[in-house]
Amino acid sequence: MADRTNDPNQHVLVASRRQFLREGGTIVGGATVSAVVGGDVLADPLHGENLPPNVPEWMKSPGDPVGSQLYGTPSPFEKGVTRNIPKSGDPVFWTSSRTPLQDLDGIITPNGLFYERHHSGVPAIDPAQHRLIIHGLVDNPLIFTMDDLRRFPSQSHIYFLECSGNPGFKKPYGKTASDLVGLVSCAEFTGVKLSHVLQEAGLRREAKWIVAEGADAAALTRSIPIEKCLDDALLVYSQNGERLRPQQGYPLRLFLPGFEGNMSVKWLRRLHVVAEPVYSREETSKYTDLLPDGKAREFTFYMDAKSIITHPSGGQKLKSHGFHEISGIAWTGRGKIKRVDVSVDDGKSWQEAQLQEPVLTRALTRFRLPWRWEGGPTVIQSRAIDEIGYVQPTLSDLVGVRGDSSFYHNNAIQPWRIAADGEVTNAVGDFLNPHKNDDKNGR
Ligand SMILES: Nc1nc2c(c(=O)[nH]1)N[C@H]1C(S)=C(S)[C@@H](COP(=O)(O)O)O[C@H]1N2
Ligand SMILES: [Mo]
């Protein structure tokens, strides 16, 4: 490689960078990003030698050759961006890991950071020995290999997946967006429409439910209404372009867009077509919501509209006054997000945020709001409204309706407190006993 320091174009580049530094970058509303022009960057004792106008060390010799990583991994400087297992000492967390929502941009969750929830660990399945059986109220019971399933016409869709215990219903504990709501992720899923495969089997008239079973030690089992199976249910084998990761159900999972996460059965081995739900453990003792009248609500399929500000969010710190972009994610199991409102004055007033295209059905939607922080303490929060007109509630409104005995399906507004020094913390009031209904086994 030529010595770049002797390249005349290099000097032009260096000169324009210096000019940029002197003038400062300008952005929305004429606000200046002061970090870019921080006065002492050139004198920084640690990094000074690599800063403009010097030629950084990484330009002085060729870098690693192509193929030095046959499967790519992020920059070592990003090693802090990982799945999150909150260290609360509570064993319930050891069976799930959360997406670091506050560290991600856009709407797609990288496969290595997709949240995990396993009831009995991750089975190591040889795809050559994996089969999907369809039986029960069908004309032709069938057994498929993975190759058989890949012969069907395929579809790809971007969808979110969210655990119904995200977060538990009590005072949501944890500091960061990930601690609180990290059991939601979003990816492009590829597979076969379940309705195509069911057509092959030939549904009988009495077929009303399909019981899906996973090939893990938990044999996780859920009954799914036939309407969903014939609508947008997918038999998924790929996620974000590559085959499913073992944690996400390799080699085959059921995917039910918009439904609570535990119904999207991973490591799918069996579809039993029946007339009535089977009332498995995961639809009786788990994943039901105890209401104030003492009755348990069962089969709460769809995840209601929800949103969270991921920047700035808990654990972060605003380092300077002036311009900050507020940004976050919103989603609804009922279809598309129609609007997201943001309040920067502790709920006194609300402004409509900008929705980033594409706004997709049953996918995360990114929202943004330009904001100037004048330095005072405040509370910021977001409120999602979906296309059926449903408005994301506050936690106190939700508890008012649901009582305080529920555990699942908390889609309350998440407020963040910003202190005068810029520190961002979880501002959910502790009018509720934080651990009262924590479920030690469920989620
Ligand atoms: N077979 C099987 N399927 C399963 C589970 C499981 O433990 N076993 N966990 C469920 C739960 S509770 C959730 S929230 C989602 C999590 O999917 P993920 O790990 O791909 O994020 O898978 C669901 N499907
Ligand atoms: Mo879950």
Q: How many helices (H) and strands (E) does the chain have?
A: 6, 25
Ligand nearest 120 Cα, by number?
1
- Hey, what amino acid is at 357? E
> Which of 93, 115, 117 has the most ligand 1 atoms within 8 A of CB, as the residue to mutate?
117
pLDDT (0 to 100) of residue 46:
60
The CB density around residue 28, as the number of other CB atoms within 10 Å, is 10
Fold of 306-432: Immunoglobulin-like (2.60.40)
Instruction: Tell which atom from ligand 1 comes closest to the C-alpha of 95.
Output: 7
Q: What is the mean pLDDT of residues 84-98?
A: 72
Tell me what pLDDT residue 87 has: 66
> pLDDT by residue (tens digit) across 378-423?
999 999 999 999 999 999 999 999 988 888 999 999 999 999 999 9
In the predicted model, is pLDDT for residue 5 greater than 70? no
Residue ranges per structural domain of the chain? 10-56, 96-297, 306-432
pLDDT at res. 289: 86
- In three-state secondary structure terms, 16 is helix
What the block records as the tokens of 305 is: 């509209």
Average pLDDT over residues 157-180: 87
Which residues does ligand 1 sit against, CB inside 6 Å?
Answer: 114-119, 161, 163, 214, 216, 218, 220, 247-248, 261-262, 264-267, 443
Dihedral pair phi/psi, residue 198, rounded to 5° = -65, -35
Counting atoms of ligand 1 from 1, which one is nearest the CA of 282?
A: 12
| Ligand 1 mutation pick, 96, 252, 266, 300, max ligand atoms within 8 A of CB | 266
Counting ligands in written order, which one lies closest to the CA of residue 282? 1
Residue whose pair of structure tokens reads 């009582």 in the numeric block: 403
Q: Is the pLDDT of residue 211 over 70?
A: yes
Beta bridge partners of 143: 133
Amino acid at 173: Y
Residue 405: per-residue pLDDT: 82
Q: Which ligand is nearest to the CA of 167?
A: 2
Minimum mean pLDDT among 36-50, 116-130, 150-164, 175-189: which range? 36-50
- Between the CA of 40 and the centroid of ligand 1 the distance, in Å, is 50
User: Per residue in 227-247, pLDDT tens?
Assistant: 999 999 999 999 999 999 999
Residue 434: the pLDDT is: 45
Q: What is the pLDDT of residue 30?
A: 40
Residue 127: per-residue pLDDT: 98
pLDDT in the model for residue 43: 53
The CATH class, in words, for 96-297 is alpha beta
pLDDT value at residue 37: 41
Mean pLDDT over 349-358 rounds to 98
> What is the 149 CA–ligand 1 centroid distance (Å)?
21
299 CA to middle of ligand 2, Å? 14
Instruction: Please choose from 97, 220, 252 the residue to mutate so as to test ligand 1's pocket, defined by most ligand atoms within 8 A of CB.
Output: 220
Task: Round to whole Å and give the CA distance between 437 and 443.
Answer: 12
- Mean pLDDT (whole number) for 113-131: 96
Residue nearest to atom 20 of ligand 1 (CA): 248
Q: Is the pLDDT at 298 greater than 80, yes or no?
A: yes
Alpha helix ranges (H) inside 28-129:
none
The predicted-structure confidence for 301-312, as pLDDT tens digits, reads as follows: 999 999 999 999
- For the entire predicted model, the pTM comes to 0.88
Q: Which ligand is nearest to the CA of 122?
A: 1
